[in-house]
Structure formats: C-alpha cells, structure tokens
A and B are shown apart, each in its own frame.
Chain A
Amino acid sequence: TQLLEQSPQFLSIQEGENLTVYCNSSSVFSSLQWYRQEPGEGPVLLVTVVTGGEVKKLKRLTFQFGDARKDSSLHITAAQPGDTGLYLCAHNQAGTALIFGKGTTLSVSS
C-alpha cells in the first residue's frame, strides 16, 4: 500500500489568513485527489491532479501536483469559516479502492 502523509494534522487560523497543507509520499502516483469532509458528512471530491507540476484552481483554493508526482499541496487564500473541515488527499489504487491520508483538520474562526 502506498502511504500518503499529510501535514499539518491540525490547523487553526483566523478568517482572512492564507494557508497551505501538504500531502507527501515516497511513491509516484498517476493521479492524486483532494477531498473535503465536513463533520458528520462524507468526503466531497474537490479536484484530481494528474500531470507533474500541474496547478489547478478552484475559487480561492489552489492545488499543485509535484513535478515528480510524489507530493501535492493545497493552498487556500483568504480563508473563510466555511472552509472549515477535514482535507484529505487520496489516490486510486488499481482503479478501485481509494487510499486516503489521515487528513488535515482546518478550523477557521471569524
């Protein structure tokens, strides 16, 4: 199983601040996915990155896939309380099961 290490584990910031969370591995991936999970709900897919060096933007969220396709980052600009949640990276093992990291729990206070 290819492990995904996410950091930091917890992040508590004020509204308006910027932040970056990381997803790292020693393995090379054909693609990585980022999910956000709110308390008491299932994960919701935010983005899939597939090309080394790729940058994708989703409003205030910027996702980057490392050149070597071993790591990825998620940057949030001007965080809002609605961004609060658990951010998970995952890869699709053999096209079936998703293998998740432990996630970063983000809390944005107003």
Chain B
Amino acid sequence: NAGVTQTPKFQVLKTGQSMTLQCAQDMNHNSMYWYRQDPGMGLRLIYYSASEGTTDKGEVPNGYNVSRLNKREFSLRLESAAPSQTSVYFCASSGTALAGGQETQYFGPGTRLLVL
C-alpha cells in the first residue's frame, strides 16, 4: 500500500495564479484532511472531510477550496494564490489500520509551495 500520496512535491506560482494540490489514500479511510505547516505555527487545519461527499472548514480556510472527489481523493485548490500561502501543505487520512484498532491519522509527504 502506498498510504497517502500527494502531488506535486514542489510548486512555484506567481501571485494570482491558480493550482490544485492532489491527495489520494488507499487505506479505505473515511476522513481526510488538509493542513499547512509554517515555522513557529505548527500544523493548522485548512479543510477536512469526514466522509465522501462532505467537507468542512478548519482553522484557516480562507483562500482555499476543497473537493472530495471520491473516498480515495481529496484535492485542495488555490483559486488566486497569494504570497501568504507560501507553505508546506500536508494531506492526511484517518482510520484504523487493523479491525478493532485505534484510529490513527496518516500523513502524506507534503507539497512545498512558493508563491512569488
């Protein structure tokens, strides 16, 4: 199993450009998340999806949109990128690895985004 995968790994955008960050998981998890990681601020939740077809705002949703395309995929879109959105973006999914096991959140490798 690949776990949680993200594309692209790196991206440079100009202010005002748009892009979509892709995330997929093959663990049959219901819940998926998008975080941004910034120095001194830790991980902050942007959006999450508790199940296919539902999405909810997290702590810092402004400037972002998400789509839960199906159970496997959860994409994050920046419609008009701003320098303040320069960050490392992590996707995660949550579920139990084993039947009857404890719920655990699994992270993707991250996408480094630079907005000029």
- A and B found bound together: no
